[in-house]
Structure formats: C-alpha cells, structure tokens
Structure 1
Amino acid sequence: MTYKILCSDLDGTLLTTKNDVSEVTISEINRIKKHLKVILVSARMPKSMRYLQERLGIENLPIICYNGALVLDNDKELFSTYIGSKELQTIHTIAEQHTVKLGLYFKDEWYVPQDSERVQKEIHHTKAEPIFEDTQTTLTNWEERDVGAHKIMLMGTKETTDAIFTELTNLLGDTLHFYRSNDTLIEVAPKTISKLSAIELLLKDETLEDVIAFGDNYNDMEMLANVGCGVAVGNGRDEVKKIAKHTTLKNTENGVAHFIKQNILI
C-alpha cells in the first residue's frame, strides 16, 4: 500500500495501554515516518497528545485535538472553534438539575468542580492535571475572556446521563454533538467539526485517497469511511468494523503496528 499520510486515533487504537504507546508501535512509526506524515487525531487536549508525539518522534507534525475542534502545528493554531457562553450556561443549568458534573476544556486548560474516581482516571490516562474550580466561576471567567469550551465532559450515573442526554439532544442537538463515551460519560463538541474535517484542513498536495487512518469508536467512523484506507482495530465497535476496509488486531495486541508492518512496505 502507498500512502502519504497516516492518521490515528489514540485511546483504544494506537495506545497499547491506557496512557502509552508500546515499543513495537514506536519502532514501526520510526520505520515509516520519513515517508508518511503521522498525524495523531484525538478527543484529547494538546498536552495529553504532546508526550505521545515525543515518544513517537513526530513533534514536528500537526495534531488534531478535541475531535477536530482545535488543530495545531507546533505552537501555531491552524483552526479553533468552541462552544460559546450561552450554550455552556444552558448545559450547566440542566446538568445541575440532574446532579451531573461538568469537565470543561479549552486549549490546555481543564476545569472540574471536584475530585472523583473518574477525574483520577482521566489524570492517569492523559497525564494532565485539572484545575479544581466551581463550574459557574469557570464559566464567568471564560465569558470575561471571551472564550468557550473546545470540549465538555458530562459525568454522572447511568440514570442521570440517560436523562440529560435526551434532554440536551432535544434542546441543543442542532448545533452540538452529544456523544456517549460510556454509560456514565457524555462528550459534547461543536457539530460543525469532525476528525475528517480536520484532516481535510491539513491536506496540501495530498487527497483523502492518500490517507490511511485507524480508529475504534463512533467518532472515528466518518474518518475511516472517507479516507483511502480506513482500518478498525479488533477491539473496535461492530459498527466501526462494518464500515472499515480492514480490521487489524486489538489495540492491546499492537493492532496498528501489526497492520503497518504487514501492509506498508517502505
């Protein structure tokens, strides 16, 4: 296979553990990186992707953060869009009614109202530290700074997130995308962006046909379906495997590295 760009999701895809790439993956990326641009594409914040870029030796290449809401090339901001103060306030008000907590993300800033098992897991997985602050204080501060959220994480129980998911989708589903990460988490992002739209932004002399991409989850489907070669990892959702051109081994079995080794001959 001949491609010019390799794009990969991180969690559940390129990462062999919850917070790191394996030596096998590093070796394969090192083998191909002079011939292919290797672009990391994630829902993560920049600082939670930078250390992985360094591990892979691709710090000089762009990263797609927050599922495409923020695209960076080193320190240069190529694209940024965020959820504004009016929608943030509406979400906060409804979340309070359901006792659902908000994690708020803007660039490398991450705010949570209190510590929890979920927050500790995020710290471990992403190697980032949050600022503990009352959510209304954060929203007031952001309004004064004229900034918003590149991503919101709603954290509750299965019952509360079920209830708020329906209510928020009905109210704000025209402009925001609500994505169930699992039974107790909902990610919120601007509806105008996607991993695919961010990849298209980075194309120069290449086309989507020149791109090979790897993913495991719903937010990877559009990307995998529209690039030259979309590959699902073995642990990916059935819907993702169905639309992918190929399926490789699980992320814990170095699925991305295995596929690269077998199919990208330099």
Structure 2
Amino acid sequence: MEIKLKKNIVIFSDLDGTALLDNHEFSDRLKNLINRLYEKNIYFVPVTARITKDAVNQQAIYLGLDKHKGIVVANNGSQVYDFSKNKFIIDKHISKELLKKIFDMTYGKIGEYKVHYFAGDTCYVYGFGENSNYWAKVMNVDYKIINKFEDIEKNVSHMTFILNEEYAEKNKEKFLEEFDFLLDQIDIIKYTNRVYELASKNVNKGSIVIEILNYLGLDKNETTTFAFGDGYNDIPLLKSVDYPIALENSIDELKEIAFAITKSNNEDGVAHFIEKEILKEK
C-alpha cells in the first residue's frame, strides 16, 4: 500500500460506526490526534447524518474543531459550518411545498413505513418509536410527535423513510415507484434494505468534498483527500476522494471500493490509520 501525499491534506470522516465508538463517544486517542493534525495544517472534517445542533454544537466541539477553526458537515451535506467565520457555507432545506406533498402521501400509513423529518434541533415523527426516540436522546434534540402538517414548524434538512420489514420485502419496488415523482427535486438515498433518506437534489456526503476544497482555496491537484466510512450513505463520500478507507465493521459494498480497510470503530480504526499511514508514526 503506497500513499502519495501532496502539499495539502484533507481528511473527511463519518461519525457513527466510524470515528465514534459504539458508546457514541470519541476516544481520547482520536481527540489528541486531531490536535496534532491541525498543528500540521491538516483538516479533519466530520461528515455526518446527525442533525445540525448535534453535529455543530456538540460533536464538533467535542473534537475541538471550534478552537481549530475547522469545518463540520451535518445532515449528510445539507449543512456545512465553518468555525473560522462562525457561519454556514452550505445551508439547504426541503421546500415546504414538497414537504406538504410527502406528508399528504405518507401520514397515516401505519404498518407500511415511518417517516422522520429532521430540522436544526428537532426530530418530527408521526408516532413514538423506541429507536427514533433513542437517537433523539443521543443527539440531545427535541422529539415531537405530529398529527398535521402545520406541526412541522421548522425548516427540514432531510428525512428518512423506514419501511416495515414485511412491507419492505414485498413492496420495496412499489414504494420507490410511488415516490419517483420526487426525483427531479430530491434524491432518495439508500441506507439499508428498508431505510431510505430524502435530501435536497445533488446533496450528499460526496457532493461536499469539492465544495469544501474550493471554499478553502485548495487546488485539487495539490491536495490529497482521504475519507473514512462504514455504511451505505458513505459510498458517495468514499467515491469522491483520492483514498477511500473502510473500517473493518463496514458493509461489504464499501469495502469493495476502498483503497484500504482499517480496524473497526471500537478499535480506533480512524486514528490507527491516520497515525500509521498519514502521519507515518511508528
């Protein structure tokens, strides 16, 4: 395995199942490593599906990106925040008109699928769910059950459709066809065989790579890019960098496109690879 490092280096990394341990915390090893990266002018950019409040005001702070004047990506690319200027450089939302169409088509489809709407600090749901409520608590965001469209009071960055397991086996293709009218305005991204994300058109984890390089004024020909991930929504990210790195706990589809496979998230795979292959520490 030979890696050719150029003048500039930017490292992109998913969080859950990748940079984060299974207890939803960063290891001290990774936090200390990020300090060393910024001392060498190497950017470490978290790229997560997590909601804006959590990604920007919590996870990025835990990593010290505020003091390093770094960049963090929330909602799989819908929001990108720059701590050096304390502003969003990308801030995209799904239009109210489109949300209304989706709500009218999906509300009340009990037993077929669940729909979750993610705003800056709020998760809107049609009914209580143990898993969705768990993640709202993990991210420390509001969890609101709605029964009419007007209850969605805040701008929505992305949504997830969770198909009932039995419904998914029998009706997955029908489900996708039912919503294909959205495809000229929105992207439907596969997470698992029964979980799909809806986000603004052409916005995903991969789309932000070149946008961030351009924003930072970095010439792609003089910049080496790395990306770490473990799941389906990380595929566009890994395909957009020079060196895509999968974790041992990654899905097979990600391992197939990876330049290298590092240790699992619980074994600090991200930190291990950076130390050995980027910083060349023994």
Shorter-chain TM-score bucket reads 0.7 to 0.9
CA-CA distance at 1:13 after TM superposition:
0.9
Give secondary structure in 1 for the equivalent of 2:279.
coil
Q: Deviations over 1:17-39 (max 9, x none)?
A: 25211222223222222221111
The reply on whether 1:68 has 2:77 as its aligned counterpart is: yes
Give secondary structure in 2 for the equivalent of 1:130.
strand
The reply on whether 1:186 has 2:208 as its aligned counterpart is: no
Q: How does 1:159-238 map to 2 (within 5 A)?
A: 159-160=166-167, 162-163=171-172, 165-203=175-213, 204-208=216-220, 209-238=223-252
Conserved in 2, the CA contact under 8 Å of 1:112 and 1:135? Answer: no
**Counterpart of 1:157?**
164
Q: Deviations over 1:148-191 (max 9, x none)?
A: 42111224522345557424443323332223434553321122
Which of 8, 15, 29 is matched with 1:24 structurally?
29
Counterparts in 2 of 1:228 and 1:156: CA distance versus 1, 3 Å: closer
Matched residues, percent identical?
A: 26
**Counterpart of 1:106?**
119
Q: Could you list the runs of 5+ residues in structure 1 that have no partner in the other structure?
A: 143-147
Q: CA–CA distance in 1 between the matches of 2:19 and 2:13?
A: 7
**Counterpart of 1:243?**
257
The reply on whether 1:55 has 2:62 as its aligned counterpart is: yes
Give secondary structure in 2 for the equivalent of 1:227.
coil
Counterparts in 2 of 1:17 and 1:176: CA distance versus 1, 3 Å: same
Conserved in 1, the CA contact under 8 Å of 2:192 and 2:232? Answer: no
Please, what TM-score do these two structures have when normalized by structure 1? 0.86
More displaced, 5-14 or 51-60? 51-60
Conserved in 2, the CA contact under 8 Å of 1:195 and 1:219? Answer: yes
More displaced, 35-44 or 107-116? 107-116
Conserved in 2, the CA contact under 8 Å of 1:69 and 1:189? Answer: yes
Letter of the 1:94 partner, please give it.
M
Q: CA–CA distance in 1 between the matches of 2:122 and 2:133?
A: 16
Q: CA–CA distance in 1 between the matches of 2:272 and 2:195?
A: 31
Please, what TM-score do these two structures have when normalized by structure 2? 0.82
Letter of the 1:86 partner, please give it.
E
Give secondary structure in 1 for the equivalent of 2:206.
helix
Counterparts in 2 of 1:86 and 1:238: CA distance versus 1, 3 Å: same
Letter of the 2:218 partner, please give it.
E
Q: CA–CA distance in 2 between the matches of 1:129 and 1:21?
A: 23
Q: How does 1:79-118 map to 2 (within 5 A)?
A: 79-96=90-107, 98-99=109-110, 100-118=113-131
**Counterpart of 1:134?**
147
